[in-house]
Amino acid sequence: MPYIKDERKPVFESGIMDIAKNIETIGEMNYVVTCLCHEYINKHGLSYDNLDALDGMLGCAGKELYRRVTGLYEDVKIVENGDVMRLNYDLKRKLIKPQ
């Protein structure tokens, strides 16, 4: 979960903005994230626990992006372009009986 206490956010904000304004490609984003992970390991130690925690954090960051941004974007595109759903299920309710 990417939520931290408000008083800690200013510690990171200017650095994040300095880096973000220079990132032009996904490759550069990957480089920055990889370097941050390596620096975390350099500071906290190379251990299974730290590697596992970093791997979990990266997975959760991707899920958070999907949950907060990609999913909403997809909902907009469904409205704009029509739905592709073909399942005989209403995933928000119960099984719809096949016709």
Residues contacting 98, CB < 8 A, separation 6+: 88
pLDDT, tens digit, for every residue of 51-80?
Answer: 999 999 999 999 999 999 999 999 999 999
Note the pTM of the prediction, 2 decimals.
Answer: 0.79
- What is the Cα–Cα distance from 39 to 64, expressed in whole angstroms? 23
pLDDT, tens digit, for every residue of 12-38?
Answer: 999 999 999 999 999 999 999 999 999
- Using 50, 70 and 90 to split pLDDT, how confident is the model at 85? confident
- Using 50, 70 and 90 to split pLDDT, how confident is the model at 82? very high
- What is the Cα–Cα distance from 73 to 15, expressed in whole angstroms? 28
